[in-house]
Homo-oligomer: A and B are copies of this chain.
Amino acid sequence: MTPEEFRTAAHEIVDWIADRRIHIEQLPVRPNLEPGDVIASFPASLPESPAAAADVFQDFKVLIAPATTEVQHPMHFGWFPSNASLASILGDFASSGLGSLGISWESSPALTEVEEVVVDWMRQLTGLSDQWKGVIQDTASTACLVAMLAARERATEHSQTTGGLVGFERRLCVYTTNEAHSSVRKAALLAGYGADDIRLVDVDPWTRDMLPHHLEKLIAADVVAGSIPAIVVASVGSTGATAFDPVDRIVEIAGPRKTWVHVDAAMAGAAMVLPEERHRFEGIEGADSISWNPHKWFGTILDCSLLYLRDPDHLVRVMSTNPSFLRSTAGGDATQYRDWGIPLGRRFRALKLLFQLRIDGIENIQRRLRRDLENARWLATQFNALPNWKVVAPVRLQTVCVRHWPVGPDGSRIDDPEQVDRHTREWVRRINISGEAFLSPAQLDGAWIARISVGVEATERHHLEHLIALIRRAAEDRGAAA
Contact = CB atoms under 8 A, between A and B. Distances in A.
Interface stretch (A217-225, A316-324, A369-377, A472-480): A316-324
Interface stretch (A181-189, A278-286, A462-470): A181-189
A386 interface: no
Given A93-B13, A329-B432, A359-B53, A192 B192 contact: yes
Nearest to A35: B334
A330 B109 CA distance: 45
A53 to B, nearest CB: 5
Given A10-B93, A96-B93, A429 B329 contact: yes
Interface in A1-58: 1-7, 9-11, 13-22, 30-31, 33-39, 42, 44-53, 56-57
Nearest to A139: B343
Contacts of A19: 3
B86 A302 contact: no
Given A67-B109, A124-B45, A149 B190 contact: yes
Nearest to A102: B302
A36 B145 CA distance: 30
A263 interface: no
Contacts of A163: 171, 194, 196-197
A475 to B, nearest CB: 17
A71 interface: yes
B49 A361 contact: yes
A358 B46 contact: yes
Contacts of A79: 101, 103, 107, 325-326
Nearest to A428: B329
A347 interface: yes
Contacts of A39: 113, 116-117
B186 A319 contact: yes
A378 interface: no
Contacts of A9: 90
Interface string A185-219: 11001111111110000000000000000000000
A398 B477 CA distance: 68
Interface stretch (A154-162, A242-250, A252-260, A387-395): A154-162
Contacts of A319: 186, 190
A90 B327 CA distance: 33
A443 B124 CA distance: 42
A382 interface: no
A84 interface: yes
A441 interface: yes
A376 B89 CA distance: 38
Interface in A443-478: 443, 448, 451
Given A164-B196, A323-B182, A87 B1 contact: yes
B18 A7 contact: yes
Nearest to A187: B342
A119 B164 CA distance: 35
A86 B333 contact: no
B303 A35 contact: no
A345 B141 contact: yes
A227 to B, nearest CB: 9
A182 B339 CA distance: 12
Interface string A394-421: 0000000000000000000000000000
A120 B46 CA distance: 9
A362 B45 CA distance: 12
Given A109-B37, A164-B194, A432-B329, A101 B17 contact: no
B6 A56 contact: no
B167 A171 contact: yes
A436 interface: no
A297 interface: no
Contacts of A128: none
A360 interface: yes
Given A96-B92, A108-B68, A6 B34 contact: no
A465 to B, nearest CB: 24
A344 B53 contact: no
B183 A172 contact: no
A232 B101 CA distance: 29
- Name the 8 nearest CB pairs between A and B, nearest first: A164-B194, A50-B361, A84-B99, A17-B97, A192-B192, A38-B113, A67-B110, A165-B165
7 contacts: A1-B360, A10-B89, A14-B93, A39-B116, A53-B90, A96-B96, A166-B194
Given A71-B99, A160-B190, 14 more contacts: A1-B85, A1-B359, A67-B110, A68-B108, A68-B111, A69-B106, A92-B96, A101-B302, A160-B194, A182-B321, A240-B325, A295-B345, A302-B345, A303-B347
